[in-house]
A and B are shown apart, each in its own frame.
Chain A
């Protein structure tokens, strides 16, 4: 069983659907249960209590998870000096604390299962230090550091921890970002073109493949930086 957060839309949904299509049992987690083709449970990842509750539900399903994909995330494109504190907290709570809470709650299940894989989502905005994305990038930089450190803490238990860091992918997170802005970002990638959700899913499948068991503590940038 593979747990996917942020599974009601965007990259999370694309990942959940791809894994379902590939024959995996998927449990999709999101703020509101969606009409999707996989099992869907409700959670607010920024709430530790909500995360603990949903993990209890997952345990009650009786199937040990083999992987956790933390795709839940929000963006708020704004200059740091203009960003309301409530928005700052919401971005950090969802992106960073949400990832941490999910890893804390699910890692013991993976350890009990004899190992597994955690994939967290970062962004190309971290290495590119994109103007107007300071808080978002900071929250994801935290995710990267947390993931690299967690990979060392869990390696002995057979749990791999990696990050996937996409550039601009056509999801709700890109609302309000112009085509010119998208182009200016992709021009700074090594492969100067826009990738889509399917490309991200391809990389995720590679990370979940047992033949990738030597890979942990990595941040994989879609398109390269």
Chain B
């Protein structure tokens, strides 16, 4: 969870905003607006590059699942980790 939640925290900025595995990243109750979501993707791309892999947030595999990888912090972390493992 650390990768995504660290970057979400950096984008949100306000330390008082509670973040957790179930925190929504899109739709009602999301802690991010559309600009924030793009910024999060760019941050995760940078993080992935530093970790030695490419994070593809337009991944067909990710988007074709029953629900978006951006639905929660946990879902996005799962996809981030999956792409890391796939390219290891």
Q: Which of B39-61 contact A (CB under 8 A)?
A: 41-42, 45, 58
Does chain B have a CB within 8 A of A157? yes
Contact of B42 among A104, A108, A153 (CB under 8 A): A108
Residues on A with beta carbons closer than 8 Å to the beta carbon of B38: 108, 111, 157
Does chain B have a CB within 8 A of A213? no
Q: Which residues of B contact A (CB under 8 A)?
A: 34-35, 38, 41-42, 45, 58
Contact of A104 among B34, B35, B58 (CB under 8 A): B58
The residue in chain B whose Cβ has the minimal distance to the Cβ of A104 is: B58
Residues on B with beta carbons closer than 8 Å to the beta carbon of A112: 42
A206 to chain B, nearest CB (A): 27
Does chain B have a CB within 8 A of A156? yes
Which label, helix, strand, loop or mixed, suits the secondary structure of the A interface? Answer: helix
The residue in chain B whose Cβ has the minimal distance to the Cβ of A48 is: B58
A27 to chain B, nearest CB (A): 21
Q: Which of A134-180 contact B (CB under 8 A)?
A: 153, 156-157
The residue in chain B whose Cβ has the minimal distance to the Cβ of A154 is: B38
Can you identify 13 A-B contacts, CB atoms within 8 angstroms? A104-B58, A108-B38, A108-B41, A108-B42, A108-B45, A111-B38, A111-B42, A112-B42, A153-B34, A156-B34, A156-B35, A157-B35, A157-B38
Assembly CA distance A111 to B41 (angstroms): 11
B56 to chain A, nearest CB (A): 8
Residues on B with beta carbons closer than 8 Å to the beta carbon of A153: 34
Besides the known contacts A108-B38, A108-B45, 11 further A-B residue pairs in the complex with CB atoms under 8 A apart: A104-B58, A108-B41, A108-B42, A111-B38, A111-B42, A112-B42, A153-B34, A156-B34, A156-B35, A157-B35, A157-B38
Assembly CA distance A156 to B33 (angstroms): 11
Residues on A with beta carbons closer than 8 Å to the beta carbon of B45: 108
Residues on A with beta carbons closer than 8 Å to the beta carbon of B35: 156-157
B25 to chain A, nearest CB (A): 16
Assembly CA distance A108 to B57 (angstroms): 12
Residues on A with beta carbons closer than 8 Å to the beta carbon of B58: 104
Assembly CA distance A72 to B46 (angstroms): 30
